[in-house]
């Protein structure tokens, strides 16, 4: 076993189903993606959400409706961090589901995208909400999500994990 | 001893086999169809200034110049660096969307993620490995490639538990066992220096144990008379590799025999693992004799 908890608990459907006021719910996760990024909750039909440790939410294409809890090393993909006041999607979630977003999405030029992928913070104009944004660029004729940036005070801070950064 | 000489009785053109083992392995990427198709991946490689040559036998494989991981489509999880020959087992297993599949020795996840992609990321792929460091690589690959139908377990595959997944048996199992590794000689020429027959005979026992667990954990074919009317027929399929071990008195009466496949279907020389993995056609029932190669389905 790793140091990390290996217990996955399925999120309760709604606050009424939850034993704790602090615990995220499926309803809350869907509302967050819809309210913040305009992602239709239909996008997540067929997925169940699981918490591993405190506030680490995973998304799992749950074809067989697994019983909670599940004690294993991984269940789908890490998807969302809910421990702090402002929730934060993971890079993998932004890449996998970010194409369905139409709000809080910032599209970068080729040079800006390369700097973002390398982990650099950049001063970039942005008229929308501050906070976590889905960052995209053009690739092969598509608008493709790269990951998550934190926009504060005129600056887009790259949230690409260190191990995923690349200099192109 | 000359390790590869063991293959001489099995390989028709041994000189060609030896020459193939000395050719460096080309850098090949597989298109991850969970996130992109071959046309988009090729266009993205071209935009990134990477020369990509399609592999003739599979429209989702490209041979590229340089490292697979240093370009935009890789960063997006559109591509995965995978040896050409390593693409074959998942194709042979041929999973369908909605299947329950076990990848018994899964890290670092090339075949796991290929299975999930072949299933359109629908169903369940349970990826097992007994090494936490390698599981870290497995998780990293499944997440970068956006595979959401994969569950990762840390355990000895010989004692694999179905309990976390409701106890139901699998439709298919991929048993790509830890092996004697001489098949990796093209990417790691020093592998033959560490080779010992003691290791081969030792690992053969582990291989047999994993395969036996896979056979237990996959469903039996359902006779049509017992199948619910609305339930589609389910095929069970297992694919396994093993290392070549010398015949023992107990096993010498087996009808299994070896054929050599020194080149990939494209005609390009590829990893030599195929030579130790291929058997003459598909057999109707499973064989667990250590030292044989097994592909079976019902």
Residue of A nearest to B132 (CA): A2
Instruction: Give the residues across from A135 on adjacent strands.
Output: A106, A147
- Please say if the pLDDT value at position A94 is more than 90: yes
- Please say if the pLDDT value at position B274 is more than 50: no
Residues A30 and A74 in one domain: yes
Contact status, residue A68 vs residue A17, Cβ threshold 8 Å: no
Residues A30 and A84 in one domain: yes
pLDDT tens profile A134-151: 999 999 999 999 999 999
Residues A46 and A86 in one domain: yes
- Please say if the pLDDT value at position B209 is more than 70: yes
Sign (positive/negative) of CA torsion A90, A92, A93, A94? Answer: positive
Spell out which residues of chain A touch residue B73, defining contact as CB-CB under 8 Å. 139-140
Out of A67, A98, A129, a domain closes at A98
Residue B184's pLDDT is: 82
Out of A98, A114, A139, a domain closes at A98
Of B256 and A68, which is predicted with more confidence?
A68
Contact status, residue B45 vs residue B52, Cβ threshold 8 Å: yes
Residue A19's pLDDT is: 82
pLDDT tens profile B55-114: 999 999 999 998 888 899 999 999 999 999 999 999 999 999 999 999 999 999 999 999
Residues for chain A: how many in total? 168
Does residue A65 fall inside a structural domain?
A: yes
Residue of A nearest to B129 (CA): A73
H helices present in chain A, as ranges:
26-37, 91-97, 110-117
Which residue out of B46, B151, B156 would a mutagenesis test of the A interface target, given it has the greatest number of A Cβ atoms within 10 Å? B151
Does residue A89 fall inside a structural domain?
A: yes
Contact status, residue B243 vs residue B204, Cβ threshold 8 Å: yes
Task: Give the DSSP letter of residue B65.
Answer: S
Domains of chain B, each with CATH number or no CATH = 3-25+84-220+233-297 (3.40.50.150), 27-82 (3.30.70.1170)
Spell out which residues of chain A touch residue B138, defining contact as CB-CB under 8 Å. 74
Q: Rounded CA gap, B12 and A121, in Å?
A: 60
Write the CA distances from B219 to B99, B138, B158, B170, integer angstroms: 12, 26, 17, 6
Q: Rounded CA gap, A87 and A94, in Å?
A: 13
Spell out which residues of chain A touch residue B132, defining contact as CB-CB under 8 Å. 2
Residues A108 and A68 in one domain: no
C-alpha closest to that of A116 among A156, A163, A162, A144: A156
- Average pLDDT of every residue of chain A: 95
CATH of the domain at A122: 2.30.130.60
Q: Is the ipTM of this complex over 0.85?
A: yes
In chain B the beta strands, taken as DSSP E runs, fall at: 27-31, 52-54, 61-64, 79-81, 100-103, 124-129, 150-154, 172-176, 237-241, 294-297
pLDDT tens profile A15-67: 989 888 789 999 999 999 999 999 999 999 999 999 999 899 999 999 999 99
Write the CA distances from A129 to A99, A105, A153, integer angstroms: 19, 10, 11
C-alpha closest to that of B272 among B30, B112, B84: B84
Does residue A165 fall inside a structural domain?
A: no
Residue B229's pLDDT is: 58
Residue B287's pLDDT is: 33
Residue B272's pLDDT is: 25
B69 reaches A (C-beta below 8 A) = yes
Q: Looking at the 3D structure of chain A, how many domains does it have?
A: 2
Spell out which residues of chain B touch residue A95, defining contact as CB-CB under 8 Å. 35, 76-77, 144, 146
Residue range of the domain that includes A28 = 7-98
Sign (positive/negative) of CA torsion A71, B156, B163, B217? Answer: positive
Out of A68, A98, A128, a domain closes at A98
Residues A46 and A89 in one domain: yes
Residue B227's pLDDT is: 56
Whether residue B69 and residue A144 make contact (CB cut-off 8 A), yes or no, is: no
Residues A67 and A126 in one domain: no
Residue B67's pLDDT is: 87
Residues A110 and A94 in one domain: no
Residue B233's pLDDT is: 54
Instruction: Calculate how close chain B gets to A34, using CA atoms only, in Å.
Output: 20
Q: Return the structure tokens found at B272.
A: 């030599």
B140 reaches A (C-beta below 8 A) = yes
B149 reaches A (C-beta below 8 A) = yes
pLDDT tens profile B1-11: 588 888 899 89
Q: What angle do CA B145, B146, B151 make, to 5 degrees?
A: 100
CB nearest B124 (choices: A63, A96, A144): A63
Does residue A2 fall inside a structural domain?
A: no
- What average pLDDT score do residues A123-137 get? 97
- What average pLDDT score do residues B113-139 get? 97
pLDDT tens profile B147-168: 999 999 999 999 999 999 999 9
Which SS3 state, helix, strand or coil, does residue A149 take?
strand
Residues A111 and A138 in one domain: yes
Confidence of residue B280 (pLDDT cuts 50, 70, 90): very low
pLDDT tens profile B214-272: 999 998 866 666 655 555 556 678 888 877 777 665 544 333 333 333 333 333 333 22
Q: Return the structure tokens found at A22.
A: 């602090």
Residues A27 and A59 in one domain: yes
- What average pLDDT score do residues B280-297 get? 33
Whether residue B124 and residue A74 make contact (CB cut-off 8 A), yes or no, is: no
Residues A12 and A83 in one domain: yes
Q: Return the structure tokens found at B276.
A: 């130790």
Whether residue B144 and residue A164 make contact (CB cut-off 8 A), yes or no, is: yes
Of B111 and B203, which is predicted with more confidence?
B111
- Average pLDDT of every residue of chain B: 81
């Amino acid at each position: 076993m790793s140091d990390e908890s290996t217990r996955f608990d399925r999120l309760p459907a709604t606050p009424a189903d939850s034993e704790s006021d602090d615990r995220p719910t499926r309803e809350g996760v869907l509302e967050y993606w819809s309210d913040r990024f305009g992602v239709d909750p239909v996008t997540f039909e067929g997925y169940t959400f699981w918490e591993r440790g405190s506030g680490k939410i995973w998304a799992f294409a749950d074809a067989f409706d697994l019983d909670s809890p599940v004690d294993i090393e991984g269940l789908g993909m890490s998807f969302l961090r809910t421990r702090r006041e402002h929730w934060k999607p993971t890079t993998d979630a932004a890449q996998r589901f970010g194409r369905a977003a139409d709000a809080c999405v910032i599209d970068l030029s080729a040079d800006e995208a390369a700097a973002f992928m390398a982990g650099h913070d950049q001063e970039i104009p942005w008229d929308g909400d501050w906070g976590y944004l889905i960052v995209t660029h053009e690739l092969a004729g598509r608008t493709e999500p790269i990951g998550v940036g934190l926009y504060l005070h005129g600056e887009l801070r790259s949230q690409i994990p260190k191990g995923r950064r690349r200099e192109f | 001893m000359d390790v590869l000489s063991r293959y001489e009785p099995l390989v028709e053109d041994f000189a060609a086999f030896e020459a193939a083992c000395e050719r460096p392995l080309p850098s090949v990427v597989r298109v991850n169809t969970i996130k992109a198709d071959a046309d988009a991946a090729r266009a993205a490689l071209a935009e990134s200034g990477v020369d990509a040559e399609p592999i003739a036998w599979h429209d989702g494989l490209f041979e590229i110049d340089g490292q697979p991981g240093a370009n935009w489509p890789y960063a997006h999880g559109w591509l995965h660096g995978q040896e050409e020959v390593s693409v074959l087992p998942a194709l042979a297993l041929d999973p369908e969307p909605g299947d329950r599949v076990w990848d018994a020795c899964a890290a670092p996840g090339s075949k796991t993620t290929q299975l999930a992609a072949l299933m359109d990321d629908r169903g369940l792929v349970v990826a097992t490995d007994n090494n936490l460091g390698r599981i870290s690589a497995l998780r990293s690959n499944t997440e970068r490639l956006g595979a959401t139908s994969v569950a990762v377990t840390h355990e000895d595959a010989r004692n694999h538990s179905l309990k976390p997944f409701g106890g139901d048996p699998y439709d298919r199992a991929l048993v790509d066992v830890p092996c004697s590794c001489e098949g990796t000689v093209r990417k790691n020429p020093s592998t033959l220096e560490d080779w010992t027959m003691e290791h081969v005979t030792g690992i053969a026992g582990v291989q047999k144990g994993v395969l036996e667990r896979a056979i237990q954990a996959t469903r039996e074919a359902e006779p049509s008379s017992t199948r619910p009317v609305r339930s589609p027929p389910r095929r069970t399929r297992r694919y396994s590799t093993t290392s070549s071990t010398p015949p023992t008195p107990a096993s010498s009466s087996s009808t299994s025999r070896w054929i050599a496949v020194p080149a990939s279907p494209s005609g390009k020389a590829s990893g030599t693992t195929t030579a130790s993995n291929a058997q003459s056609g598909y057999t109707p029932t499973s064989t667990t004799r250590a030292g044989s190669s097994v592909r079976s389905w019902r």
